Structure 1
Amino acid sequence: MNIIRGFHGTNKDSAEKIKQEGFDIKLINENIYKKPNKVRWLGQGAYFFENNLDCANKWAEVFNTNPSVVEGIIHFEDKDIFDVTQPYSPHAIVFEQEREVILKNAKNRKLDIKTTMAGLDGKIFDQICRKMNYKVVKASTYTPFDLCRENKVKSNISNVVEVCVRDKNYIKEIDIISSR
């Protein structure tokens, strides 16, 4: 059994509801995917910063007037996680291969990749997780905070490890860590 300690930035009311009822993955996905072509970067699920309370606090403060952070202890077996934190790992190679197939198909169908492939990474993660029955996705990502967010800075250099949990049964312990 493997364990990840994750922190989820949200608002105070949502934190209380999560503490009482757990993460409602279906509701999260419905709210996110209301917009056409809206797919989150690691696909569908509840998002956490791995072992990074500071980033979860910053994330909560950016989007909420009453920010709060929920800690979740995520339990999983090796077979349950798709981990692309290492660039040349078997999972990263599978991801790249899947991306190539999708892009070739789009090109063959003469689709405008820029418009039809919005959220491509998230779509690829969703497809891989469906095919292979993964419940947790883990990746090194770049999340802009403070001045970088204000100035819309994008970067190829990761500053966090994010975990996306697709099944709430993998989140075993939930606690509210901070409310400012």
Structure 2
Amino acid sequence: MYKHYPSLVFGFHACEREVGEALLSGEGGFKASKNDYDWLGNGMYFWENSPHRAEKYGEELKNKRQKLDTPFVVGAVIHLGYCFDLLESHSLQLLKNHYYSLKKTYLKVGLEMPGNNDIGANTDKLLRKLDCAVFEYMHSEMKKNETKPFDSIRAAFWEGKELYPSAGFKEKNHIQICIRNPNCIKGYFRPLAMDTNYPRV
């Protein structure tokens, strides 16, 4: 009963400028990512409270992966609704249970489970085919059993180099939100630069 979030959060989405401007104008709509390697399964992805991280990711998509021509960051006001939060123990156990259920299914038909893999020299396992498969299996089982579907998924990722020797923190640590229900998004906005003539609030 504690999976319904009572407050709003800010999310930031990196995309092509044309797509972002369409979202801001109301001409563009919700578009879920459906790659088989998406960390949290199908949905629209946001960096929680981190426009700077979204901006850096957009630059990476342009320069390293050549997937964006003109990177753009759009902000969103989000109500997480019925949220599957992987910073909470019950959600972690539920995902684990679905992993073993999916594994049993693969073994039964003699197929090899998908894996989470690195990209080149990066060891952060950015290609998350296993995680994606487990999430989508969980959602399909919930639908089959007519269980209330999750509106959103929230998870922390430890990514990048250590901040300093033996640190428990990494340079790209972040919380990511995957929105499955477009009604969670209450509005889009253009992130503003800080006005340094006034105090931070």
> Would you call these one fold, judging by a TM-score over 0.5?
yes
State which structure, 1 or 2, has the greater radius of gyration over its C-alpha atoms: 2
Tell me, yes or no, if the aligned pair for 2:20 and 2:73 is still in contact at 8 Å: yes
Where do 1:28-43 residues align within 5 Å? 28-29=32-33, 32-33=34-35, 38-43=36-41
List, as ranges, runs of 4+ consecutive aligned residues in structure 1 with deviation greater than 3 Å: none
C-alpha distance after superposition, 1:111-135 (max 9, x if no partner): 12247xx722122223334514001
Identify the residue that residue 176 of structure 1 maps to in structure 2. 190
Q: Does 1:14 find its partner at 2:19?
A: yes
- Please list every run of 5 or more consecutive structure 2 residues that lacks an aligned counterpart in the other structure: 1-5, 62-67, 116-127, 143-147, 162-169, 193-201
Identify the residue that residue 103 of structure 1 maps to in structure 2. 103
CA separation in 2, counterparts of 1:114 and 1:169? 31
CA separation in 1, counterparts of 2:133 and 2:53? 25
Tell me, yes or no, if the aligned pair for 2:11 and 2:48 is still in contact at 8 Å: yes
Where do 1:3-152 residues align within 5 Å? 3-21=8-26, 23-25=29-31, 28-29=32-33, 32-33=34-35, 38-63=36-61, 64-77=68-81, 80-86=82-88, 89-114=89-114, 119-130=129-140, 131=142, 132-143=148-159
Deviation at 1:93, TM superposition (A): 0.3
Q: Does 1:160 find its partner at 2:174?
A: yes
CA RMSD, aligned part only?
Answer: 2.6
- 3-state SS of the aligned residue for 2:191? strand
C-alpha distance after superposition, 1:20-79 (max 9, x if no partner): 235423xx44xx44xxxx2411111110011111110011111233211111111133xx
Identify the residue that residue 3 of structure 2 maps to in structure 1. none
Structure 1 counterpart of 2:30, one-letter code: D
Calculate the TM-score normalised by the size of structure 1.
0.75
Question: Counting helix residues as a fraction of each chain, which structure ranks higher?
Answer: 1
Tell me, yes or no, if the aligned pair for 2:113 and 2:130 is still in contact at 8 Å: no
- Please list every run of 5 or more consecutive structure 1 residues that lacks an aligned counterpart in the other structure: 149-156
Structure 2 counterpart of 1:140, one-letter code: A
State, as a whole percentage, how many aligned pairs show the same letter.
Answer: 24
Tell me, yes or no, if the aligned pair for 1:23 and 1:46 is still in contact at 8 Å: no
Tell me, yes or no, if the aligned pair for 2:79 and 2:184 is still in contact at 8 Å: yes
Name the stretch that deviates more: 128-137 or 7-16.
128-137
CA separation in 1, counterparts of 2:29 and 2:132? 20
Structure 2 counterpart of 1:100, one-letter code: Y
CA separation in 1, counterparts of 2:69 and 2:158? 23
Gap change, CA 1:16 and 1:43, over 3 Å in 2: same
Tell me, yes or no, if the aligned pair for 1:49 and 1:55 is still in contact at 8 Å: yes
C-alpha distance after superposition, 1:125-169 (max 9, x if no partner): 23334514001000112455xxx7xxxxxxxx7711100001221
- 3-state SS of the aligned residue for 1:113? coil
Calculate the TM-score normalised by the size of structure 2.
0.67
